[in-house]
Amino acid sequence: MKTAITMKKIITTLAGMLLAAVFSVSMAQNQPHVFINPGHGGHDSDDRNVVIPPFTQGDTLGFWESNSNLWKGFALQEILRKKGYKTSISRIKNTTADDLPLSTIVALSNSSGADVFYSIHSNASGHGEAYAVNFPMGFYRGYTNQPENPNSMLLLSKLAPYIIDNKSTVWSQDKYQEWGDWSFQPGWGTQGYGVLRGNRIAAILDEGSFHDYYPEAYRLLNHEYCWVEGFSFSLGADDYFGRLDLFGEGLVTGTIRDDRLLRTDIRTMIGADKRVPVNGALVRLLDSGGNVVDEYTTDNLRNGIYLFKYVAPGTYTVEVSHPDYFGKSAEVVVNANAKTYQNFDLKRQRNTPPEVVSYSPVWEEGDAPVRCNEPLKFEFNWDMDAESVEQAFTIDPPVEGTIQWEDANYRMTFTPNDAYQVDTRYTVTIGKSAKHGGGTEMVEDFVLQFDTQSRNHIYELAMFPREGSQMHYKSANVEFRTDSLIEAYDAFNYMHVIDKDGNEVGWNKRSLKFNEEGDDYGFLRFPLSKDLTVGEDYHVVVDVEMKDTMGLKLEAPIEYHFTAVDAAETIGSPAVVEPFEAATGFALAAGEGDTPVGTVKVTASSTKLFGSKSLQLAYEFAGQNEGDEMVIDAPASEEHFTRNDALVLHIFGDMSFNHFYARLTNEAGTDDRWVDLGVIDFVGWQRVVVDNLKDVLAADENYSFTGMKMVKNATKMGRKGTMRVDNLLKDHSTGVSETTLAGVTVGPNPAVDYVVASAGSFVTGMELINSAGQTVARNGSNFINVSGVTPGVYLVRVYTNGMTSTHKVMVAR
């Protein structure tokens, strides 16, 4: 904001400036008087700077709207004087002091005695390089078609045709938009634009083009381009004042561009602006006698603009030459007081044949094989004719792929759609029929060869859930392991859990866990965003798009079916042998030899299935030796197991693939027995049942629970991890060895009327067996009526496809 004091000072200085600026010719009758307002000034915050190379932010030589507005204003002043007008101008310098308040400019306009007022600007979309918006628009005061001063609307309509007929630029829409400022800025009421408000003469504001459309910003750096816009204003004034026939000279102008080379310095362009403007082209204007009338060399500011001013009417030849291009000429007709546009598209002299100057992969016999999805890249010495190169391109054995061109067709990339074959020699040829942009072919074929690696896909090492598995319904995690590191950033898009109705169960993306550089294998662990429904079937799908960090994909999609269960469900009332509520007394036993095989940190964890805690075992084996054992001693349980009992332990697995055991010790402490709890091949809680201790324990002895044991597996998995155990139970053995087949389910549980079995294959029969081992009901179908049996725990045998699956069910009333 300017203070009142400085404003006074500016007005005083301006009075003197105006005297100097106003050109007075002899006071001829009807001499029109034009007031010129080149918008903005001073390279300040209210000016408009577009930062384009080679200029940096704030460089006053770069694009500033105040610069181009002033050049347009100077041109208009010069041309109007030649045409016999009287002129006033609001600034002749580009300093902060000359950037007058708009109300001051209006006061000067009103007191100048001028007939019309032109405020000269260019426009901005505010989106810079991202938008290709370029069209002219202008404003008078009032509503559109309801101007405060009808002469203002007339003045704008007389100017518009001479602005829109600019053929040096490329418009995004071919219409000059004429607006009343109150309609354009409806939020401002009838405030309108400051230089139009209170202006008592015919007054307009013109936004000639969009200066933040970058090709236009480069043109506006050219004084002659701005000069032509000044000439267009003069034509508008001539038309308004009925003076079009009074001036006897015209002009020739245009833009010189490469005929095909694409511009790569700007992101968004329209039409011919996509091609490179030619810097340093010599343009000569020759009269009909072949005499050079004028010459112009295009500047180095990437606009290709040339101009010949004040040319007498007649027929001329415009001749363009440049050391890198074939010359070109065109005949033009110049009319009095009119613009002649003549653009040139020059053909480059590509004076050597095209060739591949660099490429990848660079491979020689004996080199390491190439990745099976390696893109093929070629760089040429010339901009290439894409079609002829693509036709000349072959790869053997054939591979489907995508070709992309970059850098104005100097660079080509072939990306295979799927991986190359493994352990294969590929031969890639660009035949010599490939042409550069000038149409010349290569001298010889270009050939490259490479061998591929022996791996072209990512492979599943393990997954949970697997086909037919059961998964604890609450806070479930899906884990997927692969032989190489998974590209994790968008992996959640390629793995899905789907319920029985086909709806996806989402991931809790904030809690994803995935492999890091240096891990032994790839993994993703995705927590589900909500709990599953007990008893319902789900499936998990991994898309082929799942990639490793080298971009190799799965060979085929993976799909596994699983069932949600409640691992805490107990049938009957088994005795709790050990609730694992505290870690007191649990510790890693000393191993054999001097070197410990690993460490286990035993703590109480709130990730539990029963009570308030579980027992957490955070272990780390020292190495990857198969069979290394770590024993965790436990306080001896008061409750005893005999060979007639079943042992139930709830285990939170970490998919270590290590073998897990429970130790039972006789009362004398002389006999340790290991109960095999199986391989930890799951994630989350599972109820692990050893139904029959008859094969493990000695007769007539009572055994306490005294510890657990973890045995390292043969793979790289399970060297370190965290597992948990909760409630160790003692149940009555059914006396029948129980084998539960994956994929066979039995329910409901507890059952009242019927028990129904479902399996992947045909169920041929079922048997209901009581705790004494007697069959109490049977049926040759997939259901069995239990309404007549005594409530209690039963075994259900399901016969399917020659196999038998046994399940424990409670019958209740």
Q: Minimal distance in Å, beta carbon 209 to Zn ion?
A: 11
Closer residue to Zn ion in complex, CB, 212/691: 212
Closer residue to Zn ion in complex, CB, 86/211: 211
Residues 477-516, mask of contacts with Zn ion (x by CB under 5 A):
----------------------------------------
Q: Does 250 bind Zn ion (CB under 5 A)?
A: no
What torsion do the CA atoms of 765, 770, 772, 774 make, to the nearest 10 degrees?
-40
Closer residue to Zn ion in complex, CB, 139/799: 139
CA distances from 558 to 429, 539, 540, 683, 761 (A): 37, 10, 8, 18, 21
Q: Minimal distance in Å, beta carbon 112 to Zn ion?
A: 21
Residues 769-808, mask of contacts with Zn ion (x by CB under 5 A):
----------------------------------------
User: How many Å apart are CA 758 and CA 800, to the nearest integer?
Assistant: 10
Q: Minimal distance in Å, beta carbon 42 to Zn ion?
A: 13
The answer to whether 198 and 108 are in contact (CB under 8 A) is no
What DSSP element (H or E) covers 631?
Answer: strand 629-633
Of the candidate spans 38-46, 88-96, 138-146, 440-448, the one that interacts with Zn ion by CB under 5 A turns out to be 38-46
| Residue 331 falls in which region: left (phi positive, over 0), alpha (psi -120 to 50) or beta | beta
Nearest CA to 469 out of 614, 679, 618 is that of 679
Q: Minimal distance in Å, beta carbon 161 to Zn ion?
A: 22
Closer residue to Zn ion in complex, CB, 41/250: 41
Closer residue to Zn ion in complex, CB, 120/646: 120
Closer residue to Zn ion in complex, CB, 40/525: 40
Q: Minimal distance in Å, beta carbon 109 to Zn ion?
A: 17
Tell me if residue 75 falls in helix, strand or coil.
helix
**What one-character-per-residue DSSP string does 190-227 give?**
T---TTTTT--SEEEEEEEEETTSHHHHHHHTSHHHHH
What DSSP element (H or E) covers 333?
Answer: strand 325-334
Of the candidate spans 34-42, 230-238, 511-519, 745-753, the one that interacts with Zn ion by CB under 5 A turns out to be 34-42
Considering only residues 690 to 749 of the shown chain, the ones binding Zn ion according to CB under 5 A are: none
Instruction: Name 268's Cβ contacts closer than 8 Å, sequence gap at least 6.
Output: 129, 130, 131, 132, 214
Considering only residues 103 to 132 of the shown chain, the ones binding Zn ion according to CB under 5 A are: 121
Q: Minimal distance in Å, beta carbon 121 to Zn ion?
A: 3
Considering only residues 39 to 78 of the shown chain, the ones binding Zn ion according to CB under 5 A are: 39
Is the omega angle on the peptide bond into residue 527 within 30 degrees of 0, that is, cis?
no
Q: Minimal distance in Å, beta carbon 205 to Zn ion?
A: 8
The answer to whether 171 and 134 are in contact (CB under 8 A) is yes
Task: Return the residue nearest Zn ion (CB atom).
Answer: 121
Q: Minimal distance in Å, beta carbon 69 to Zn ion?
A: 7
444: Cα separation from own chain's centroid: 41
Closer residue to Zn ion in complex, CB, 121/219: 121
Closer residue to Zn ion in complex, CB, 212/701: 212
Residues 134-173, mask of contacts with Zn ion (x by CB under 5 A):
----------------------------------------
Considering only residues 386 to 415 of the shown chain, the ones binding Zn ion according to CB under 5 A are: none
The structure tokens listed for 499 are 């319920």
Closer residue to Zn ion in complex, CB, 51/357: 51
Q: Minimal distance in Å, beta carbon 211 to Zn ion?
A: 9
Q: Minimal distance in Å, beta carbon 221 to Zn ion?
A: 16
The answer to whether 704 and 667 are in contact (CB under 8 A) is yes
Of the candidate spans 31-39, 269-277, 391-399, 582-590, the one that interacts with Zn ion by CB under 5 A turns out to be 31-39
The structure tokens listed for 357 are 């100057």
Nearest CA to 783 out of 811, 756, 763 is that of 756
Nearest CA to 479 out of 533, 491, 468 is that of 491
């007394």: which residue's tokens? 585
Looking at residue 695, the DSSP 8-state letter turns out to be G
CA distances from 376 to 364, 562, 576 (A): 15, 43, 65
The answer to whether 776 and 770 are in contact (CB under 8 A) is yes
Tally helices (H) and strands (E) across the chain: 8, 53
Closer residue to Zn ion in complex, CB, 39/250: 39
User: How many Å apart are CA 122 and CA 212, to the nearest integer?
Assistant: 9
User: How many Å apart are CA 146 and CA 155, to the nearest integer?
Assistant: 14
Of the candidate spans 10-18, 32-40, 249-257, 393-401, the one that interacts with Zn ion by CB under 5 A turns out to be 32-40
Closer residue to Zn ion in complex, CB, 50/497: 50
Tell me if residue 794 falls in helix, strand or coil.
strand
The structure tokens listed for 530 are 């909500």
Q: Minimal distance in Å, beta carbon 194 to Zn ion?
A: 11
User: How many Å apart are CA 159 and CA 72, to the nearest integer?
Assistant: 14
Of the candidate spans 33-41, 467-475, 719-727, 788-796, the one that interacts with Zn ion by CB under 5 A turns out to be 33-41
Closer residue to Zn ion in complex, CB, 39/142: 39
């109705």: which residue's tokens? 501
Q: Minimal distance in Å, beta carbon 118 to Zn ion?
A: 13
User: How many Å apart are CA 75 and CA 62, to the nearest integer?
Assistant: 20
* Distance linking the first and last C-alpha atoms of the chain: 88
Q: Minimal distance in Å, beta carbon 47 to Zn ion?
A: 9
Closer residue to Zn ion in complex, CB, 211/608: 211
Give the binding-site size for Zn ion (rule: CB under 5 A).
2
Instruction: Name 109's Cβ contacts closer than 8 Å, sequence gap at least 6.
Output: 35, 37, 88, 90, 117, 199, 200, 201, 203
Closer residue to Zn ion in complex, CB, 86/121: 121
Q: Minimal distance in Å, beta carbon 503 to Zn ion?
A: 55
CA distances from 217 to 162, 179, 209, 230, 527 (A): 20, 24, 9, 17, 52
Closer residue to Zn ion in complex, CB, 232/733: 232
The answer to whether 572 and 646 are in contact (CB under 8 A) is no
Closer residue to Zn ion in complex, CB, 72/724: 72
7: Cα separation from own chain's centroid: 52
The answer to whether 131 and 110 are in contact (CB under 8 A) is no
Q: Minimal distance in Å, beta carbon 441 to Zn ion?
A: 52
Q: Minimal distance in Å, beta carbon 40 to Zn ion?
A: 6
Q: Minimal distance in Å, beta carbon 122 to Zn ion?
A: 6
The structure tokens listed for 444 are 């010889």
User: How many Å apart are CA 225 and CA 163, to the nearest integer?
Assistant: 12
Closer residue to Zn ion in complex, CB, 121/302: 121
**Can you give the three-state secondary structure of 465-481, one letter per residue?**
CCCCEEEECCCCEEEEE
Q: Minimal distance in Å, beta carbon 39 to Zn ion?
A: 4
Closer residue to Zn ion in complex, CB, 99/701: 99
359: Cα separation from own chain's centroid: 28
Binding residues (CB under 5 A) for Zn ion: these are 39, 121
